Amino acid sequence: MYFWPDAVNNQSGIQRQMKAALVNEQGAMIYKAQRFAPDSRLLPAPHLVNDGKANTMANEPVQVNARRQAMLAYMRPAWS
């Protein structure tokens, strides 16, 4: 079951379209209306591990979990 705010009802889409303004954008006449979407500029930037860089090399050896290695052993190809 979905719970919608009172501002969103079966007429809200039509009401939003009726509030749209006709705008000339680079020679094209278009209707612009306010969206029912959060402003993404208000959200904090996501935390990126390794500053978002891909394929970074580790500077220390990795400890292999023997239990996890045994669990994944069945996925190893027969020729390896």
Instruction: Kindly list the distances between the CA atom of residue 77 and the CA atoms of 57, 64, 66, 74, in Å, as whole numbers in the listed order.
Output: 26, 19, 19, 8
pTM of full prediction above 0.85:
no
Higher pLDDT, 53 or 17: 17
- Which one-letter amino acid corresponds to residue 53? K
Structure-model confidence comparison of residues 15 and 4, the more confident one: 15
| pLDDT tens digits along 30-76 | 988 877 777 777 878 777 777 767 666 777 777 888 998 898 888 88
Binned at pLDDT 50, 70 and 90, residue 24 comes out as: very high
Residue in 33, 31, 11, 13 with CA at minimum distance from that of residue 23? 31
